[in-house]
């Protein structure tokens, strides 16, 4: 099974947003990190940047919106209208996780749920069979460029086991500190989508960053 890549535009040069997105046209997903300064200690961007991202993305590229906001159910319809294909909400951000998932599906979008490194994986269980995507954070959310937390590997393995057990085709995504060095280990653990910010939008450009990740993921198969 080939692993999909989801460059996070949080790490891009926003003065050149269109060009940066063009440089990642070969990526299956475009990962859009929305932060509200409450759920996480940082504010990133919101609806206008999402709409611009959607316009700049290649037709068919999946616009993957990671909502690091309190009570995300308040804004699901707005993010759907602005161009999201998938909406991923934190289990820690709402007492109405099940409702948020159902709302996302009713909007015709793919429903994702994400857990922070300090949150029990058991919180995923009640909604697991409804999921289109499960995201395991491998850093504490809020900032790009943090070091990968290696315990995420075991957490990916656990959730991969659960998804396989129920015959779920949901994507299993990992976000935070993903590099060419740990990409293959994450794929081996069962991840199907890797988010990467700073390791893609580096000094030598996003196209080079993306191809480094692809190479790391294919090298062993050759």
Residues annotated catalytic, as ranges: 33, 175
How far apart are the C-alpha atoms of 189 and 183, rounded to whole Å? 10
Min dist CB 206 to ligand DX5, Å, is 12
- Total of residues contacting ligand DX5 (CB under 6 A): 21
Give φ, ψ of 34 to 5 degrees.
-105, 125
| Residue from 66, 109, 110, 155 in contact with Zn ion (CB under 5 A) | 66
Q: Does 88 engage in binding with ligand DX5 (CB under 6 A)? A: no
Q: Which of residues 106-165 bind Zn ion (CB under 5 A)?
A: none
11 versus 23: smaller Cβ distance to ligand DX5: 11
102 versus 146: smaller Cβ distance to ligand DX5: 146
How far apart are the C-alpha atoms of 30 and 66, rounded to whole Å? 10
Residue 213 neighbours by CB distance under 10 Å: 22
* Helix residue ranges, H only, 29-165: 47-56, 76-81, 97-106, 152-165
What residue has token string 């947003």?
Answer: 17
Q: Does 197 engage in binding with ligand DX5 (CB under 6 A)? A: yes
Of the candidates 7, 26, 11, 27, the one whose C-alpha atom is nearest the C-alpha of residue 143 is 11
Q: Which of residues 164-183 bind Zn ion (CB under 5 A)?
A: 175
How far apart are the C-alpha atoms of 28 and 145, rounded to whole Å? 22
Q: Residue 66: beta bridge partners? A: 33, 88
Q: Which of residues 5-64 bind ligand DX5 (CB under 6 A)?
A: 8, 10-11, 31, 33
93 binds, among Zn ion, ligand DX5, none (CB under 5 to 8 A by kind): none
Residues forming the site for ligand DX5 (CB under 6 A): 8, 10-11, 31, 33, 66, 139, 141-142, 144-146, 175-178, 195-199
């Amino acid at each position: 099974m080939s692993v999909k890549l989801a460059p996070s535009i949080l790490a891009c040069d926003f003065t050149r947003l269109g060009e940066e997105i063009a440089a990642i046209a070969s990526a299956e997903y475009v990962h859009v990190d929305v932060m509200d300064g409450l759920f996480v200690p940082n504010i990133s961007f919101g609806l206008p940047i999402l709409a611009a991202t959607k316009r700049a993305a290649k037709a068919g590229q999946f616009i993957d919106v990671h909502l690091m906001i309190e009570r995300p159910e308040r804004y699901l319809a707005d993010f759907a209208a602005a161009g999201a294909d998938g909406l991923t909400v934190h289990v820690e951000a709402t007492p109405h996780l099940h409702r948020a998932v159902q709302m996302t599906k009713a909007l015709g979008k793919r429903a994702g749920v994400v857990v922070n490194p300090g949150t029990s994986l058991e919180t995923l269980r009640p909604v697991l069979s409804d999921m289109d995507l499960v995201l395991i954070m491998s850093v504490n959310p809020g900032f790009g460029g943090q070091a990968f937390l290696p315990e995420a590997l075991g957490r990916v393995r656990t959730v991969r086991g659960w998804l396989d057990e129920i015959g779920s085709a949901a994507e299993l995504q990992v976000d935070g500190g993903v590099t060419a060095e740990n990409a293959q280990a994450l794929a081996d653990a069962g991840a199907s989508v890797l988010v990467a910010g700073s390791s893609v939008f580096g000094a030598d450009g996003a196209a080079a960053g993306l191809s480094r990740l692809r190479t790391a993921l294919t090298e062993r198969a050759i």
